Amino acid sequence: MTTDTMTQDMPAIDTVSTSIDTESAQGFFQTTFQDFSFDSLLAKIHLTREALLEIALCFGAGFLLGFLFKKYNHYFFVLAFFIGALWVADYYAIISLTINVSMIKSFLGCSALPADATILSCLVSTVQEHVRATVSFISGFVLGLWVG
């Protein structure tokens, strides 16, 4: 018996289309998991992965600084006193400190400040530009103080 005679002896089977609409085939849990996936949640609150990473890093840095500040605050005060003493000694020409600000700015990638800029105006503009990072850093710092 050859394959031709085998196919002739077999009854014809109707092929039924088994294509199912994939949207209706998804169950409740599958659509729920898709709605609560990481990327869809970020899209709902208008965040990107980079912004979330920035928030997490600033929160972690604030937490670490707050924790260390509470544990070792006497060292921070000694360091602040030492820096203040150096500033006073430089002011009265006891020692001479030279800081190459242009090299620091080029190393950090900062742009030049306007001539009429004050420290307070620079601080306010930085906080306004980086609200999420500032809020996450401060909340991490407060939590670090509370835990430490």
CB neighbour list of residue 127: distance below 8 Å, 6 or more residues apart: 134
Amino acid type, 105: K
For 40-53, the pLDDT digits (tens) are: 777 777 778 888 89
For 87-136, the pLDDT digits (tens) are: 999 999 899 888 888 888 888 887 777 777 788 888 888 888 889 999 99
Amino acid type, 141: F
- Which single residue is written with the structure tokens 């031709």? 4
Pair of tokens at residue 38? 């990481």
Report, as an integer, the average pLDDT of 8-17. Answer: 56
Asked whether the predicted pLDDT for residue 20 surpasses 80, the reply is no
